Chains A and B, each alone.
Chain A
Amino acid sequence: MSFSQCLRCRECHREYPLTANHVCEFCFGPLEVSYDYEAIAKQISRKRIEQGPVSLWRYSDFLPCHAENAIDIGVGFTPLIRAKNLGRALGLNNLYLKNDTVNPTWSFKDRVVAVAAARARELGFDTLACASTGNLANSVSAHAAAAGMKAVVFIPEDLETGKVVGSSIYAPTLVKVRGNYDAVNRLCAEIAGSYNWAFVNVNVRPYYSEGSKTLGFEVAEQLGWRAPDHCVVPIASGSLFVKIKKGFDELAKTGLIDEPKTRMSGAQATGCSPVATAWQEGTTNFRPQRPNTIAKSLAIGNPADGYYALVQLQATGGACGSVSDPEIVDGIKLLAETEGLFAETAGGVTVATVKQLTAQGKIDPDELVVAFITGAGFKTVEAVIDSLAEPLHVDATLDSFERAYGALNHGESELVVI
């Protein structure tokens, strides 16, 4: 069951009913779901969770919708991998990767959309909508298809074919918007306020963002019911970064783990780094930026939760790094070559930032570190395709193969006579 009580303004703490509303009428601050933690604590136990479904719905007591309304396409409870090879390469002795590339539409966005879609259905909406450069559009389209809801998905006109197909295969109404990033943003903000749709990251954002907490729940459970020492999380809107920590805090608040002392560090691409820039300048006042990076899934120049991410960085003793596009590509390749995991550009940002922060001494080699890999690499092949080794081109003869393979191995033949 759901123990959600009301929506509460994060700034002035005014309370609102649990409707499709995301902004405080008085101060325009963001609204967040508030829960009855005492009631949750009475009901919840590690055993109750462990006996639940092998998906994010095992944590439904902490979510703002009823599990029976879930559109369950198998989201969540993704692997937590001990990354010994990558750890060795980076100088970390206890590095783990939370592999969220294996969700149904291959990114962590399935978590937030699963919760938003369930709540949208409870609120009586028949249409899910979003504006996206890829992952979110894919997930909204898939969930709407599974739920028998309509989907209206807005994308920039110049989006790569792979990302377009990743949405259109689910048959949403796909709208390509002409114009630059700011123009698309402005139009979609206007549309979100004009139609009676569940625009997942606008009017149902308070519910949507709660889905990200489940990453924190899962990591703690998979570590044997404890919070890690240090998390490195990619920052786009900042919501994921804030909500993972909220997940640890809620487990502690309800007696399931000890009080977390987790340091939360953020990862951004230099080409869109409003949070990292503000962090380096020592302020919580970030300046919006115009994104220019290959990490398009992190390209949010005016992050809705940027301020809260900066507050959390300060409060937990974390750090925020930013990495260049070449470093992102190197990060993707390093992850693939050491752990056999092909991540999209956001994963490259995370790995490169772990490397950067470790080199700067901001991550201790013996800390239990969890890096969050949030999307699969096949979504962004164009980011790496020019930097990969050419295949060997051979004729269909042993001699031709021998010459090519021998040249690759500096003239030394490995031919054995069987």
Chain B
Amino acid sequence: MPARRVKFTFPESLIKEPIIYLLGKEFKVITNVRMADVDEHTGWVVLELEGDHEEIDRSIAWAQARGVRVDPAGGDVVEG
């Protein structure tokens, strides 16, 4: 099954929201957290999303619509 490695960065307003739990419930996507650092002000989670391409795309769009910044896990691919 296709998988995508992404980094979610949460603004302070979303720190208390169970975003990853809800994402797994709303979409047919398996979430697999590998690294994270969250405090009361901000936080990031590196995770793998596994599922159909379209479903992963939809789940990412859903997270972005809620205010989560989503980036490729290894940093920007486009360089100067």
Residues of A within 8 A of B (CB): 11, 22-23, 26-30, 109, 130-136, 154, 156, 181-182, 184-186, 188-190, 192, 199, 201-202, 205, 236-237, 285, 287-288, 296-306, 346
Contact = CB atoms under 8 A, between A and B. Distances in A.
B34 A346 contact: no
A181 B77 contact: no
A27 B69 contact: no
Contacts of A190: 4
A182 B78 CA distance: 9
Contacts of B74: 22-23, 30, 189, 202, 205, 304
B53 to A, nearest CB: 9
19 contacts: A23-B73, A30-B74, A131-B79, A132-B79, A132-B80, A133-B78, A136-B79, A156-B78, A185-B77, A188-B77, A192-B77, A201-B79, A205-B74, A236-B79, A287-B42, A288-B7, A288-B71, A302-B71, A303-B75
A346 B79 CA distance: 13
B44 interface: yes
Interface string B22-58: 0000000000001101010011101010000000000
B67 interface: no
Tell me if B's interface is mostly helix, strand, loop or mixed.
strand
Contact of B77 (A27, A28, A131, A298): A131
B9 A296 contact: no
Nearest to B44: A285
B80 A135 contact: yes
A contact patch SS: mixed
B76 A301 contact: yes
Given A136-B79, A288-B9, A186 B72 contact: yes
A236 B78 CA distance: 11
A304 B79 CA distance: 10
Contacts of A285: 37, 39, 42-44
A299 B78 CA distance: 9
A28 B46 contact: yes
A192 B77 CA distance: 9
Given A132-B80, A299-B80, A306 B5 contact: no
B11 to A, nearest CB: 8
Residue of A11, A181, A301 with most partner-chain B CB within 10 A: A301
A192 B74 CA distance: 12
A386 B43 CA distance: 42
Contacts of B4: 190
Nearest to B79: A136
Contacts of B76: 185, 237, 300-304
Given A28-B5, A28-B34, A285-B42, A133 B79 contact: yes
A302 B79 CA distance: 11
B29 to A, nearest CB: 16
Contact of B72 (A26, A109, A185, A305): A185
Contacts of A296: 80
Nearest to B78: A131
Given A185-B71, A287-B42, A28 B35 contact: yes
B35 A11 contact: yes
A300 B37 contact: no
Contacts of B35: 11, 27-29
